[in-house]
Amino acid sequence: MKVTDLIKNQNKPFYSLEISPPLKTKSIEQIFSVIDKILPYNLSFVNITYHQKSSAYEEVNGQMRKVIYQKHANTVGVCSAIKYKYNIEAVPHLLCGGVDKITTEDTLFDLMFMGIENILALRGDPRRGQDDFVPEEMGNKNAAELVQQIKAMNQSVYIQSDSPEVPIDFCVGVGAYPEKHYSAKSLEDDVAWLKHKVDSGADFIVTQMFFDFDLFVKWEKMCRQAGITVPIIPGLKPLTKKKQVELFTENFHLSIPAELRDAMEKAETPKEAYQAGIDYMAKLCRKLLDYGVPGLHFFTMGKGQDVADLIEKLENK
């Protein structure tokens, strides 16, 4: 089922997750264990991240050759495993980076054959060692172009393939940044770019994590005033360790509200810090649900116990 249909047909707000494919040396059971923790609640879909292949030049038999490294399991395969084990919607990330448009088209056909109906279309970060994003030759330059390619396929416009017997019909989500993308000149410019992605055909929006309710409301109103009408799903990550305060600030360009920062500073043990983070995030989630968001999307970052504890607190209020 499409994410937009899940939203239309729901009788209460849903939960969704973002998880990463395991390292190739690890078992997929580590993903299943995360999902198992959340499954008893209203889990509607799972996003699966995609990791660009990294490359390096190495000397092989006296010659310099480009060697490709892919440390994580294939996103398409993980989608298939989740969809058919749990019968819930798997929503793969699809990136511009590292692939050309023909490869993107082939991937979309593979996903169609698996019964995948939803895509989260993202530009992706620059490759390791690069300051700026550099697209592949004949690749999509940004998320808006990627959305346009997917929507063209929905209209039976293909680069190299004949029309399939069953038409492609993907529901496409895009990312957004309540505190603006770090490379954007201003929040207004970032909202204008988000509007462009929606005008390119995006059907729903999932935000980057944030911790400030008022900040989200201000940004969401800016989006609506700009003419963005598609559903916006807030993305959240429980902050449960003292060191995460600075890590999230530096690595994700996020602001931490004084209430949360003070609560973490006052915690005298890791257990107290964990509970302070869960309590704060529960209040934030309830404010968002009262505000009328369609659901809550949680970033697990490979683990899920903190998300499970947060959802349990919400469900047992």
Q: φ and ψ at 306, to 5 degrees?
A: -65, -40
- How many independent structural domains does the chain possess? 1
pLDDT tens digits for 96-128?
A: 988 899 999 999 999 998 899 999 999 877 666
Write down the pTM of the prediction.
Answer: 0.90
Please determine, for residue 61, whether its predicted confidence score (pLDDT) is greater than 70: no
pLDDT of residue 201: 97
pLDDT of residue 56: 43
Give the pLDDT band of residue 57 (cuts 50, 70, 90): very low
Please determine, for residue 60, whether its predicted confidence score (pLDDT) is greater than 90: no
- CB contact at 8 A, 193 and 23: no
* Residue tagged 């649900």 (tokens): 289
The span from the CA of 85 to the CA of 249, in Å, is: 37
Nearest to 82 by CA among 111, 136, 39, 46: 46
pLDDT tens digits for 131-178?
A: 677 777 888 999 999 999 999 999 988 888 777 777 789 999 999 999
- CB contact at 8 A, 315 and 39: no
The span from the CA of 146 to the CA of 139, in Å, is: 9
Coil, helix or strand for 235? strand
Please determine, for residue 69, whether its predicted confidence score (pLDDT) is greater than 90: no
**Residue-number span of the structural domain to which 248 is assigned:** 3-315
Give the pLDDT band of residue 303 (cuts 50, 70, 90): confident
Contacts of 168 (CB under 8 A, 6+ apart): 108, 109, 112, 153, 154, 156
* % of residues, the chain, pLDDT over 90: 61
pLDDT of residue 66: 46
Burial of 85-111, coded b for 16+ CB within 10 Å and e otherwise, reads: eeebbbbbbbbbbbbbbeebbebbeeb
pLDDT of residue 194: 98
* CATH code of the domain containing 137: 3.20.20.220
pLDDT of residue 12: 86
Strands 63-69 and 54-60: antiparallel
pLDDT tens digits for 225-242?
A: 999 999 999 999 999 999
pLDDT of residue 70: 54
Q: φ and ψ at 157, to 5 degrees?
A: -110, 115
pLDDT, mean of residues 205-222: 97
Q: How far is CA 86 from CA 45, 234, 315, in A?
A: 10, 24, 21
**More confident: 261 or 31:** 261
pLDDT of residue 52: 58
Please determine, for residue 251, whether its predicted confidence score (pLDDT) is greater than 90: no
Please determine, for residue 10, whether its predicted confidence score (pLDDT) is greater than 90: no
pLDDT of residue 301: 80
* % of residues, the chain, pLDDT over 70: 89
pLDDT, mean of residues 45-55: 73
Please determine, for residue 54, whether its predicted confidence score (pLDDT) is greater than 80: no
The span from the CA of 101 to the CA of 96, in Å, is: 8
Q: What share of the chain is helix, strand, coil (3-state, %, to 5)?
A: 40, 20, 40
pLDDT of residue 199: 98
Please determine, for residue 267, whether its predicted confidence score (pLDDT) is greater than 50: yes
